[in-house]
Amino acid sequence: MPSDFEQLVHQHGARIRRIALRYAAGGAVDDLVQDILLRLWRSYPRFRSDAKIETWIYRVALNAAMTYVKHTIREREGLAAVAARSAPAAAQAATSMADVLAGFLAMLGEVDAAILMMYLDGLTAEEMSGILGINGNAIAVRINRLKQKFSDTYVD
């Protein structure tokens, strides 16, 4: 395995792990991380060095996450129901920004969570559009909705 790939993965390790944490739970996080790494390695030869690394990582990681979501549908529905019930209490109890970030990500649906992570990572609407396959205006609308939802949950 080329060392530049290994180095790249080390540099973006926290990002990969964060994406996996959002779409998997418990011990399955490591499996999803491994699946993302595997897919990154597989698509690495096609990665153009002029492209933004974050864009490539999100694209591949979300592909892996969606396959994972498909395989774990039953467990995920149970977890989502628990998360929805406990969301208001969790929002009240959040004491640090890390708690707020984790809580807000957990409360969102799969697509909104992906948009939020990319937004926090500084990706433009155009870059997100290239990853998600929907137009930039739709993304801008969704980001505004996310801002509103965040204020409703954590500010009021």
Q: Does 124 bind another protein (CB under 8 A)?
A: no
Q: Does 87 bind another protein (CB under 8 A)?
A: no
Q: Does 31 bind another protein (CB under 8 A)?
A: no
Q: Does 122 bind another protein (CB under 8 A)?
A: yes
Q: Does 97 bind another protein (CB under 8 A)?
A: yes
Q: By CB under 8 A, name the one of 4, 38, 53, 84 that touches another protein.
A: 38
Q: How far apart are CA 125 and CA 100, in angstroms?
A: 24
Backbone φ, ψ for residue 53 (5° rounding): -60, -40
Backbone φ, ψ for residue 24 (5° rounding): -135, 165
Angle between helices 73-93 and 53-71 (to 10 degrees): 120
Per CB under 8 A, contacts with another protein among 135-154 are 138, 141-142, 145-147, 150-151, 154
User: 51 by DSSP, 3-state: which?
Assistant: coil
Other beta carbons within 10 angstroms of residue 65's beta carbon come to 22
- Counts for the chain of helices (H) and strands (E), in that order: 9, 0
Q: Which residues bind another protein (CB under 8 A)?
A: 1, 6, 9-18, 30, 33-34, 37-43, 46, 56, 59-60, 62-64, 66-67, 69-70, 73-74, 97-98, 100-101, 104, 109-111, 114, 117, 119-122, 130-134, 138, 141-142, 145-147, 150-151, 154-155
